[in-house]
Structures are given as C-alpha cells and as structure tokens.
Amino acid sequence: MTTSVVVATLGRSAIFERCLSAIASGAYGATEVVVVDQSSEGIGGAAASALAASATRARHVRTAPAGVSAARNLGAREATGDLLAFTDDDCVPERDWIRNILVAFDTHPDIAVVGGRVDLADAADLPVSIRTHAEVESIGDLQQMMNWMSGCNMAFRREVFERVGLFDPAFGKGRPIGSGEDIDLLYRAWKAGLRLLYQPDVRIRHAHGRATAEARESVNRDYVKGRGAFYCKFISDAQVARLAYWEIAKTLRLAMRSPRELATLRDLADGAARQVLSGVLGLLAQRRHLLEEHV
C-alpha cells in the first residue's frame, strides 16, 4: 500500500520545519507528502528545504485561508495514496509513525481508520490536546471515539472518503466552530459500519505551545463549541442525544455550585447555533446553485 501524509499549515514555518523533518526521517515505502499551505507568504527557507527532502514525492499546494477542514479536503483530493494520514504542522511524528500505520492496516484488514497516541512534545506545555491511552482498542462507541481519537494523528483507507465524504468545512480551526472536524468525520464513518482502531504505537508528539491557563481556557472553549455543533448536527441519533443530555445535565448540576460552569452551557449553545447557521447557509447556497443552473 502507498501512503499519503497530508499536513495543513498557516504561517508557522519555524515549527512546520520540525514536523516535516520528522516525517522525512520516518519516510517508509512509497510515501507521499502533501502540504496544503494557507499562509499568504507561503512556506520558505528551511521549511521549504525540509519539504523537498521529506519524501520521494512531495507536493506543495497553495490555497487561500479557509480553515483546517478545507485544507485537509484539498489535501485528500490531491493525494494519490491508498492510505491517507493526517497530522498538524505543530506535531512531531515518531520515526516509525508511517511504518506503524502501515503495519496496523496490514494486521487489521477489516479496519478502515487508525488513530494513534498523542503525547506532549514540550514538558512545559499543559496536558491538553493529547491522547495517552496505552492499549490497543477497537472503537465501540462515541465516548471512546471522543476520548481516544484525535484529528492530529489519524489515518484512513481512501475508500472511507468515497463512502462518507470529506471533512465538514464548517468545523475545525479557522472557522467559527473551532473544533470537532475529526469527531464529525469519524462518527460518520462509524455510523456507516466502518471499523475504527486506536493504536498507541502510531505515535506523535504535539508541540501545541499552550502553557498558560488562558491558553488552556481558549482551546477548551473551542472543544466545547465543537461538541455543541456536533450534538446539534447528529441530535436525531440516540447515542448522540444521550451524550448531549448527560453533559448538559452534569453541567447544570455543577453550575448550581459554581456559576462559572454556565460558560460551558453558553459555549455548547454557541456551537449548536453556529451549526444551525451553517446548515441554513449551505441550503441557501445549494438553492442558489440550482437556480443558476436553470437560468
């Protein structure tokens, strides 16, 4: 099998260089690297050199800023591999990352998606945006998916996108719904009957740089908004409705003792409202397109 690694970046050449160097050091078999660059000035200098050395086949695609989901979708369309692996520009894959992705799919031919372990790259950073579960697990429900899978370290068989579509461009960093693009896609795959595996040997280190309480608060708010949007999008599914109910009920109980917890309810509602707005705008765009076709 051939592997395409898709990395989106937006004006962070210094840390991006480290990501590309790590990918290059672990290139295994027929590996292709597709960089989707949304920065106005483009990557340059050492980062561009690292890209040139990162794999036998390396591609640099420029596009206007439109969020991480749009970037990943463009990367998926440009990629040629049988497997598509995604990481972020502030991540440092382990040397055996690509090899272990291939081994996981070879060992489990019935698996469509593999997620992996995410550790801190810098001990000074706070322990957020990581996944450190140490055992191999077959994902059996939504709670496991949320707890163990991460968008900065996941790989798909190409047919997953042919079956359930690409990332929802309304979700993710760079959009008003600042997260949730990974769970949205993974849940759609799982609901379609595709099997998901968490494999801790597929490992990256995350240099997210969040070392203050304010930074942690900001990313946690994005995560809550993403969950609110996700709950809203799939609220007709019993499992999603149940999880949304228990989170809201728990938060209401906590808010009786600490009014600060009301902020969580606000962010859940904000995410849900943004998902509704996105859906309405999407329907209007479809209608406009149909009208233009008949003019």
Instruction: For residue 148, give both structure tokens.
Output: 């163990």
The residues facing 83 across adjacent strands are 3, 157
Q: Is the domain of 55 the same as that of 30?
A: yes
Contacts of 143-148 with CB under 8 Å at 24 or more apart are 143/243, 144/198, 145/183, 145/186, 145/187, 145/190, 145/196, 146/183, 148/115, 148/198
Residue at token pair 């209401």: 252
What distance in Å separates the CA atoms of residue 70 and residue 8, rounded to the nearest whole number?
9
Domain of 227 in residue numbering reads as 213-293
pLDDT value of residue 234: 97
Q: Is the domain of 97 the same as that of 21?
A: yes
Q: Along the 295 residues of the chain, how does pLDDT read in single tens digits?
A: 899 999 998 877 778 888 888 888 887 777 889 999 888 776 655 566 666 555 557 788 888 888 999 999 999 999 999 999 999 999 999 999 999 999 999 999 999 999 999 999 999 999 999 999 999 999 999 999 999 999 999 999 999 999 999 999 999 999 999 999 999 999 999 999 999 999 999 999 999 999 999 999 999 999 999 999 999 999 999 999 999 999 999 999 998 888 888 999 999 999 999 999 987 877 666 666 555 665 5
Q: What is the pLDDT of residues 112-143, one digit of tens each?
A: 999 999 999 999 999 999 999 999 999 999 99
Domain boundary among 206, 223, 255: 206
Sheet strands (E) in the chain: 3-9, 31-37, 57-62, 83-88, 91-93, 111-120, 137-138, 153-157, 195-206
Q: Is the domain of 66 the same as that of 94?
A: yes
The number of distinct structural domains making up the chain is 2
Domain boundary among 181, 206, 231: 206
Helix (H, G, I), strand (E, B) or coil at 283: helix
Q: Is the domain of 119 the same as that of 258?
A: no
Q: Is the domain of 69 the same as that of 17?
A: yes
Q: Is the domain of 196 the same as that of 219?
A: no
Instruction: For residue 4, give both structure tokens.
Output: 């395409």
